[in-house]
Amino acid sequence: MADLDYKKISGGLFVSFEGIDYCGKSTQVRLLSSTLLREGYGVVVVREPGGTEISEKIRDILLDTANKRLSAEAELLLYEASRAQLTRELIIPGKQAGKVVLSDRYFDSSTAYQGYGRGLDIESIKKMNLVASAGIKPDVTFLFDLPAETAQARFSSVPLFKDRLEEEKIDFHRRVRNGFLEIAKSEPKRFKIIPAEDDIDSISERICSEIQTLL
């Protein structure tokens, strides 16, 4: 299908996927993207941190295990910088073109990781989120909820290199999980909580049917 032939949605649709590390959200982003493309929608898939040439360079700094001295404040500002670039370069243009924008993490991750996880001031983070996102918000956010212990068992079974955040202790991941649940509680209309221990196919069906109601 030629690029201009896709089914357009007025104002676009912006969907974010959140949760602790190893919650399985990236698989679901891929599945939803394939379904929407098959149905003829225009789709933009992005990830945070990263997603643009500049943001990917910032991602390298953030996840590099050599950067043990990175302060919590510098970390927050780098995530926001990556987001500011991604929002202007891809998310806003994608929405304006009437596409579905799927973002693997967005500003709720800063509130959960840097706020609840690192202990930085939540209200200040929300203000920075607003600057970085140019005031746009996901229309819907899927929160993949999973106990930190289960996530840790998943990543201990993968003998891969761990990034700087994944190296954090279990208590950090517990605080992040609780943070996400608190954020979801404060915005029940935007958030859909997905029990991330369910099987891949049933999660995918649930997400597709939620999205159908918004198209």
Do 142 and 207 meet the contact criterion of CB atoms below 8 Å apart?
yes
What is the per-residue binding string for ligand TYD in 71-110, x denoting contact by CB under 6 A? --------x------------------------xx---xx
Cβ 167 to ligand TYD, closest distance in Å? 10
The reply on whether position 49 binds ligand TYD by CB under 6 A is yes
The reply on whether position 56 binds ligand TYD by CB under 6 A is no
E strands in the chain: 13-19, 43-47, 100-104, 140-145, 191-195
Among 7, 9, 26, 30, binds ligand TYD (CB under 6 A): 26
Do 141 and 194 meet the contact criterion of CB atoms below 8 Å apart?
no
Nearer to ligand TYD, 49 or 94 (CB): 49
Q: Please name the residues in contact with 18: beta carbons below 8 A apart, sequence gap of 6 or more.
A: 25, 105, 106, 108, 109, 112, 141, 142, 143, 144, 180
Among 58, 91, 101, 165, binds ligand TYD (CB under 6 A): 165
List, in sequence order, every residue forming a beta bridge with 210; answer none if it has no partner.
Answer: none
Cβ 198 to ligand TYD, closest distance in Å? 18
How many amino acids of this chain bind ligand TYD (CB under 6 A)? 16
Cβ 163 to ligand TYD, closest distance in Å? 6
DSSP 89: I
CA–CA gap between residue 118 and residue 94 (Å, rounded): 32
Stretch that binds ligand TYD, among 45-53, 92-100, 142-150, 187-195 (CB under 6 A): 45-53
Among 6, 14, 41, 113, binds ligand TYD (CB under 6 A): 113
CA–CA gap between residue 215 and residue 210 (Å, rounded): 9
Q: Retrieve residue 103's tokens.
A: 């973002």
In the complex, the residues that contact ligand TYD under the rule CB under 6 A are 21, 26, 47-49, 63, 79, 104-105, 109-110, 113-114, 163, 165-166
